[in-house]
Structure 1
Amino acid sequence: MEEVTFDPGLIQAIFKHIWTRRALEREKNEGNDGTDGEVGAGTSKRTRTTSANSNAVKLSCELLRIFITEAVQRSAMIAEAEGAGKIEGTHLERILPQLLLDF
């Protein structure tokens, strides 16, 4: 049976949204000083498009699936130790620092 994972199209759309926001912020911060910065032969930061390989998107989906699964499992252990019947936000807050260090 195949593991349920995130939709690669959704993850790629999220990535594109973030890349677009950052490009707009970069343009806003640069202002109109006329310097685009050298990126490559005849390519400026403003005209260069950011994209992701399909394998990279699939790998990102798998990483997110594993990260969230681990977060739920660790939060469930804390909730069970406290005798709670369900996972609360406080359980997630307690495991998040170590989880982020582990990933």
Structure 2
Amino acid sequence: MDKKTFDPDLIHAIFKQIWTKRAKERERNQSIDAVDAEVGACTSKKGRSTSANANALKLSSELLQIFISEAVQRAATIAEAEGGREIEATHVERILPQLLLDF
């Protein structure tokens, strides 16, 4: 059976976007120390780029797929209990706290 997961390249692109955004926020919120200015390029934590290896991306893709599948199943159960045939945002809102605690 071929399991469907998210494309690891997509997950990497999402992670990279978040890492870039957080790096920019840190730059805005922190002033450069005199010590950091003396250290060579890319030797401080601020100067290094964040990356992920292929196995980590594959695992993240599978975990996100499981998480979303579980969210859909739980929301569908709530919708069905209410007599509905479609999942609405309120159904997801109701299952989200417990889902986050379970994961």
TM (normalized to structure 1)? 0.88
Matched with 1:8 is 8
Cα distance change on mapping 1:81 and 1:35 into 2, 3 Å: farther
- Give me the whole-angstrom Cα distance separating, in 2, the residues matched to 1:18 and 1:35: 27
- Find the residue that maps to 1:44 and give its secondary structure: coil
- Give me the whole-angstrom Cα distance separating, in 2, the residues matched to 1:88 and 1:30: 41
Residue by residue over 1:17-62, the C-alpha shift from the partner in whole angstroms, topping out at 9 and shown as x without a partner, is 11111111111111244353xxxxx711232111101000000000
> Which amino acid in the other structure matches residue 15 of structure 1?
F
- Give me the whole-angstrom Cα distance separating, in 2, the residues matched to 1:93 and 1:99: 10
Shift of 1:76: 0.5
**Which segments of structure 1 move beyond 6 Å, counting only runs of 4 or more?**
none
- Find the residue that maps to 1:50 and give its secondary structure: coil
Q: For residues 47-66 of structure 1, what are the structure 2 equivalents within 5 Å?
A: 47-66=47-66
Query: RCO higher in 1 or 2 (8 Å CA, sep ≥ 6)?
Result: 2
Shift of 1:71: 0.2
Residue by residue over 1:42-89, the C-alpha shift from the partner in whole angstroms, topping out at 9 and shown as x without a partner, is 711232111101000000000000000000000000011110011111
Unaligned runs of 5+ in 1: 37-41
Matched with 2:39 is none
Matched with 1:98 is 98
> Which amino acid in the other structure matches residue 67 of structure 2?
F
- Find the residue that maps to 2:2 and give its secondary structure: coil
TM (normalized to structure 2)? 0.88
Q: Quick check: 1:68 aligned with 2:92? A: no
User: How many equivalent residue pairs?
Assistant: 99
> Which amino acid in the other structure matches residue 65 of structure 1?
Q
